[in-house]
Amino acid sequence: MFDLDGVLTPTDRIHETAWEQTLGPYIAERGLPPYTVRDYDQYVNGRPRLDGIRAVLEARGLHPDDDTLHALGEAKNATFLRILATDGTDSYPDAMALLSFVRTRGLRTAVVSSSANATAVLEAAGILGQFDLVVSGITAREQHLAGKPSPDPYAYAARQLGFGTGDTVVIEDAAAGVTSGSAAGAIVVGIDRGAGHEALAAAGADVVVTDLRDLIPEMNDAR
């Protein structure tokens, strides 16, 4: 079971830009410490959109009401979709190598993402057909699942695939996602694309790698 942004596709960069363009001006207008990439890593990455907004603002002493949360969330989403439509996205070569490895061995695959735009991103990257299941932010809303770091998304995905979570492997790049998979009882691989080995291990990753091809025996032997 793969997370999407930052694991399969480099769309975390688009998210970072969209968050900066949305929350940066809102925070600056109030004379508060500016929004930075650290906010994305600490409060936003891997979490449902509204939870991320709330965490960033509460860290600055703000307590936004629901209308504010939803307005900022819609603005961020519109910015993300605009950038995605203009720039598109590709996929990480190491993730595609691992995906091919598991698919050719008959293993079932899923994407488990907090993003409501997961299907659109997978289509833009041309890899939607490589997955038996997509659990997105829309799925979470429809199925009343708590978002990451809750175990709900991964536990739900495992059930839909017909497995107990102990028989699944989760691939995550964010601490919140690692915590989610670990709490669900899955084997969790942290892919360090910037979060840091220590942070992923502390969140519950069973193993941390810097390249997903390290999980492929014959490729790892040759590296």
Closest Cα to residue 62, out of 27, 15, 12, 92? 27
Please indicate whether residue 221 is annotated as part of the active site.
no
Could you tell me which of 115, 108, 147 has the C-alpha nearest to residue 130?
108
> Considering just the CA atoms, what is the radius of gyration of the chain in Å?
17
Which residue among the candidates 3, 41, 152, 173 is catalytic per the annotation?
Answer: 3
DSSP 35: P
149's enclosing H/E stretch is none
Q: Which of 166, 158, 13 is nearest to 83 (CA)?
A: 13
- Residue 5 falls in the annotated catalytic set: yes
- Tell me how far apart the alpha carbons of residues 79 and 34 are, in angstroms, rounded to a whole number: 19
Active-site amino acid positions: 3, 5
